Structure 1
Amino acid sequence: MIALAAAALLAACSTQPPRAVARGMPSLQLAPSSLGGTLALQQRLVFTHGQRSDTVDALLEADADSVRVVLHQHGQVMLRLVWDGESLRQDRAAQLPEALSAQRVLDDLQLVHWPAPAIRAALPPGWQLLEAPGARHLLNHGETVASVSWPDEHAARLDNHREGYRLDIRSAAAQP
């Protein structure tokens, strides 16, 4: 689970292809250009699964050409990913849990940050994205699988109901 990520920090990283993971949500794999702008954010991520919470920091950059993310804690890189719309590359800490894959991170960040029309266009049959002011809900055959809310302009909360975790995100503009 994502919640195990912070507990699994190791200093060494290795380059590996993305790993297949049993998923409760479809992989969006949206083109970076479908964001319709750029992102340059420093983020504090709090992963909660059951009674356990872990905190990591992230640097997120996205433009029309690529999405780049680095997850780190205490100066140690846990996961680095680059998505160019065709291939997903990752460098990960050697003993980072399998459940924390670059694909999972990309799917979660796209569900939170990408425009709804781009997400809807990528959903397979039986899936839909509903929006209300300050929230969106991802449904599979009428069942809410995930919800995103924005309590304020600097915060987002992703609840993955099917996989049983919550991701609280605090964002600030990245400093050059």
Structure 2
Amino acid sequence: MHRLIACLLMGLLLAACATRPASPAVVLPSLRLAPAALGQQVALQQRLVFRFGEHVRELDALLEVDADAVRLAVQAMGRTGVSLQWDGTTLSEERAAWLPAAVRGERVLDDVQFSLWPADAVRAALPVGWELVESGDKRELRKDGHAWLTRDRVDATTLRVHNKADGYHLTIESMAGGAPIP
């Protein structure tokens, strides 16, 4: 889970540093799912590999989820870039001054919840016109038949996320000895 969040942050970091279009082709919906909707407690240390165009960045993340909150801290080169806490109502964010403004806590939370929360919880939060499609280890968030956000489970500890709307790829790996990603 931490890796996922860290990867998401890294992706956003890279997106901010790279040349990108003025606006995405589509704005992905905000999920804002309750922490308890995950259905389990999670504590993970993760390595995130973010790819935006030709740029590749690696980040470390710590992710904790319990019935009351989602907590995420993402670090780059030993420095904390962002810490997030979501209690189901309020998203609190502490950011380092060096973190690009394009790295948005809201998008990180949405990508984490899209990737890890149960499909039924994600579907219930989607606005009209959006659908969640799952097939095996693949999950897609679609609008008008086009998949804008995908998640593939590579194995028990690795996820790959492709955000086509914002143009980045994220690989999330739980560290050696880490728990499987839900």
Same fold (TM over 0.5): yes
Residue among 91, 94, 97 paired with 2:100: 97
The answer to whether structure 1 residue 149 and structure 2 residue 152 are counterparts is: yes
How far residue 101 of structure 1 moved from its aligned partner, in angstroms, is: 1.3
- Quote how far apart the aligned CAs of 1:24 are: 2.4
Aligned partner of 2:113 in structure 1 is 110
Judged with a 3 Å threshold, the aligned counterparts in structure 2 of structure 1 residues 24 and 52 are, in CA distance, closer, same or farther, namely same
Does the Cα contact within 8 Å between 1:5 and 1:96 map onto a contact in 2? no
Structure 1 residue 96: Cα displacement: 1.0
Instruction: Find the residue that maps to 1:45 and give its secondary structure.
Output: strand
Deviations 1:53-101 (A, max 9, x none): 1110000000110000000022210000000000000000113111211
C-alpha deviation, 1:6, in angstroms: 10
**Helix, strand or coil: the match of 2:103?**
coil
1:1-176 → structure 2 map (5 Å cutoff): 2-4=12-14, 24-172=27-175, 173=178
1:142 maps to a residue whose letter is G
> Secondary structure at the residue paired with 1:112?
helix
Structure 1 residue ranges without an equivalent (≥5): 8-20
Which structure is higher in helix share? Answer: 2
**Structure-2-length-normalised TM-score:** 0.83
CA shift, 1:5, in A, is 7.6
Following TM superposition, by how much is the alpha carbon of 1:159 offset from its aligned partner in structure 2, in angstroms? 0.4
Identity %: 45
Matches of 1:50 and 1:4, distance apart in 2? 9
Please list every run of 5 or more consecutive structure 2 residues that lacks an aligned counterpart in the other structure: 1-10, 18-22
The DSSP-based 3-state class of the residue aligned with 1:37 is: coil
1:93-147 deviation digits (Å, cap 9, x = unpaired): 1131112111111011111111100000000000000000011010012111011
Aligned to 1:48, the other structure's residue is in SS state strand
Report the structure, 1 or 2, having the larger strand content: 1
The answer (yes or no) to whether the contact 2:13–2:100 under 8 Å persists in 1 is: no
The C-alpha deviation readout for 1:19-58, integer Å capped at 9, x for no partner, is xx97721111100011011111001001101011111000
TM-score by length of 1: 0.86
Report if aligned partners of 1:31, 1:85 keep a CA contact under 8 Å in 2.
yes
Q: How big is the alpha-carbon RMSD for the aligned residues of Structure 1 and Structure 2?
A: 2.0
C-alpha contact (below 8 Å) 1:6/1:73 kept by paired residues? no
The letter for the 1-side match of 2:79 is Q
- Cα displacement (A) at 1:2: 1.1
Instruction: Read off the aligned partner of 1:104 and give its amino acid letter.
Output: R
Secondary structure at 1:61's aligned position in 2?
strand
What is the number of equivalent residue pairs in this alignment?
A: 161
Structure 1 position 4, deviation (Å): 2.5
What CA distance in whole angstroms lies between the structure 1 residues aligned with 2:55 and 2:170? 12
Q: Tell me which amino acid in the other structure corresponds to 1:53.
A: V
Q: Is the 8 A contact 2:42 2:63 kept in 1?
A: yes
